[in-house]
């Protein structure tokens, strides 16, 4: 079981060494009530496998979907999820907080 963000970063490195295309999502900002602190990571491969957590609930699914696009394009993305967003309830961040997640391809 992965217990720390260091374990998640190690998994990203291991997946790359295995030849898998990988993206890394990192919580870079959080306001109000947020489920995961700044610096939390989620690693995603091109098959949609993932380890770690940047929020929980449906936010993770949205981040995985965006990460697959980042893997394909090679272009990083800054994602924002919050209760003021009309999709907040849809992606599950109804806690009243806002998070910003940076997603980048791991080379």
DSSP 93: -
pLDDT tens profile 9-44: 999 999 999 999 999 999 999 887 777 889 999 999
Q: Enumerate residues 6+ apart whose C-beta is below 8 A from 47.
A: 20
Residue written as token pair 């919580």? 27
Task: Give the pLDDT of residue 1.
Answer: 42
Burial degree of 94 (CB within 10 A; 0-12, 13-18, 19+): middle
């Amino acid at each position: 079981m992965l217990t720390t963000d260091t374990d998640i970063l190690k998994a990203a490195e291991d997946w790359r060494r295995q030849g898998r295309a990988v993206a890394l999502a990192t919580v870079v900002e959080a306001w109000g009530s947020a489920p995961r602190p700044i610096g939390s990571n989620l690693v995603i491969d091109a098959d949609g496998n993932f380890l770690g957590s940047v929020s929980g609930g449906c936010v993770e699914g949205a981040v995985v979907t965006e990460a697959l696009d980042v893997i394909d394009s090679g272009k990083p993305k800054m994602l924002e999820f919050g209760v003021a967003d009309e999709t907040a309830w849809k992606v599950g961040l109804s806690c009243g907080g806002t998070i910003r997640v940076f997603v980048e391809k791991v080379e």
